Structure 1
Amino acid sequence: MAKKKETYESKIARLEQVLFEMENNEVTLDEAITKYEEGMRLYGELYKILQEAEGKIKVLTADGEENFQEEI
Structure 2
Amino acid sequence: MKALIESIVSSLVDHPDDIKITETEEEAKLVYHLTVHPDDVGKVIGKNGRIAKAIRTVVYAAKTDAKKRIYLDIM
So what's the TM-score if we normalise by structure 1? 0.32
Q: Between Structure 1 and Structure 2, which shows a larger proportion of strand residues?
A: 2
Q: Between Structure 1 and Structure 2, which shows a larger proportion of helix residues?
A: 1
So what's the TM-score if we normalise by structure 2? 0.31
- Greater Cα radius of gyration, structure 1 or 2: 1
